[in-house]
């Protein structure tokens, strides 16, 4: 009799296991707070773009861990033609790197007007998730800044081999790089240009520019010379005042 009971119990267990494998027996629904059987990556933009054009993004996994890598993609103004969009962040991560939490600085490169910021948690859909509808988060914001205004400020000669001057931005944000031109003694054939990657976050920031005229210009004759400084010499920056970008520094060569 014991053998018969054991056989019956074993048969029942085997039938239930087979039914579970074939999906014929419904599983108990997951309670709130439990993990699903698949990963579930969620894109979150934690704060609106603030007055300094900063925000914070986060990617979390509300399901089970995944194997392999997936791609985070953060893009500005995705509705624009491809050449005009700006990719803010593009990187890969694994389950061990979650949650992914990062502060984002959107300047330089912003222009006045309406913008969108779009975050993709699994760009390219590399991960098979329980919910594919929460991988994208998008917010809108508006930029309304005064134009920048570069000013030539405080020229000096700190030593016989150097000249120095300060740039000051008394306007709004500088959103792109520009070039500074130096012209020796008013001679347009003797101009040296320097790329400036300086960006201002604060309207009263100074930038000290120090250069050796002997390195910038070859075969300088003895005597008194002048260097004409031309800020934004190629007019890349749309300024509120274009008439205060030029100054002069003098130096003497023995």
pLDDT tier at 209 (50, 70, 90 boundaries)?
confident
* pLDDT at position 204 over 70: no
Asked, for residue 9, whether it belongs to a domain, the answer is no
**Which two structure tokens, joined as six digits, stand for 123?**
């760009």
The mean predicted confidence, pLDDT, of the chain is 82
Asked, for residue 5, whether it belongs to a domain, the answer is no
Does residue 198 sit in the same domain as residue 137? no
Report the C-alpha gap between 149 and 170 in whole angstroms.
5
CB 183 within 8 A of CB 176: no
Asked, for residue 90, whether it belongs to a domain, the answer is yes
pLDDT tier at 15 (50, 70, 90 boundaries)?
low
pLDDT tens sequence across 109-154: 678 899 999 999 999 999 999 999 999 999 999 988 888 899 988 7
Q: Answer with the one of 112, 143, 174 that is the final residue of a domain.
A: 143
Which residue's entry shows tokens 């005042």?
A: 241
Of residues 210, 205, 223, the one with CA closest to residue 157: 210
**Which two structure tokens, joined as six digits, stand for 219?**
């075969």
What pLDDT is attached to residue 144? 86
pLDDT tens sequence across 89-119: 999 988 889 999 999 888 766 788 999 999 9
Does residue 161 sit in the same domain as residue 246? yes
Does residue 39 sit in the same domain as residue 134? yes
Total of domains in the chain:
2
> What phi and psi values does residue 141 have, to the nearest 5 degrees?
-155, 165
What pLDDT is attached to residue 161? 74
pLDDT tens sequence across 32-82: 444 457 999 999 998 888 877 889 999 999 998 888 899 999 999 999 998
Comparing 204 with 68, the larger pLDDT belongs to 68
The answer, as to whether pTM is greater than 0.75, is no
Q: Answer with the one of 93, 118, 143 that is the final residue of a domain.
A: 143
Asked, for residue 139, whether it belongs to a domain, the answer is yes
Does residue 137 sit in the same domain as residue 167? no
At CA 119, angle to CA 115 and CA 123, rounded to 5? 130
What 3-state DSSP class applies to 139? Answer: strand
Residues of the chain above pLDDT 70, percent: 80
Q: What is the extent of the structural domain holding 50?
A: 35-143
pLDDT tier at 189 (50, 70, 90 boundaries)?
very high
Residue 198 belongs to domain with CATH number: 2.60.40.10
């Amino acid at each position: 009799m014991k053998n018969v009971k054991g056989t019956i119990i074993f048969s029942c267990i085997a039938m239930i296991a087979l039914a579970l494998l074939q999906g014929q027996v419904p599983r108990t629904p997951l309670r709130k707070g439990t993990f699903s059987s698949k990963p579930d990556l969620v894109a979150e933009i934690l704060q609106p773009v603030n007055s300094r054009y900063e925000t914070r993004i986060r990617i979390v996994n509300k399901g089970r861990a995944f194997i392999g890598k997936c791609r985070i993609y953060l893009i500005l103004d995705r509705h624009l033609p491809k050449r005009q969009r700006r990719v803010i962040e593009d990187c890969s991560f694994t389950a061990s790197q979650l949650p992914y939490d990062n502060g984002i600085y959107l300047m330089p490169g912003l222009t006045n007007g309406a913008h969108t910021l779009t975050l993709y948690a699994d760009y390219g859909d590399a991960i098979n998730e329980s919910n594919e509808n929460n991988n994208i988060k998008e917010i809108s914001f508006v930029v309304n800044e005064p134009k920048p205004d570069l000013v030539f400020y405080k020229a000096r000669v700190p030593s016989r081999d150097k000249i120095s001057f300060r740039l000051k931005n008394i306007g709004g944000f500088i959103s792109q790089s520009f070039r500074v031109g130096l012209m020796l003694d008013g001679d347009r054939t003797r101009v040296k240009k320097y790329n400036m990657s300086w960006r201002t976050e604060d309207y009263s920031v100074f930038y000290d520019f120090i250069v050796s005229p002997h390195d910038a210009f070859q075969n300088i004759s003895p005597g008194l010379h002048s260097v004409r400084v031309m800020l934004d010499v190629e007019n890349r920056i749309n300024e509120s005042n274009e008439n205060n970008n030029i100054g002069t520094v003098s130096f003497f060569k023995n």
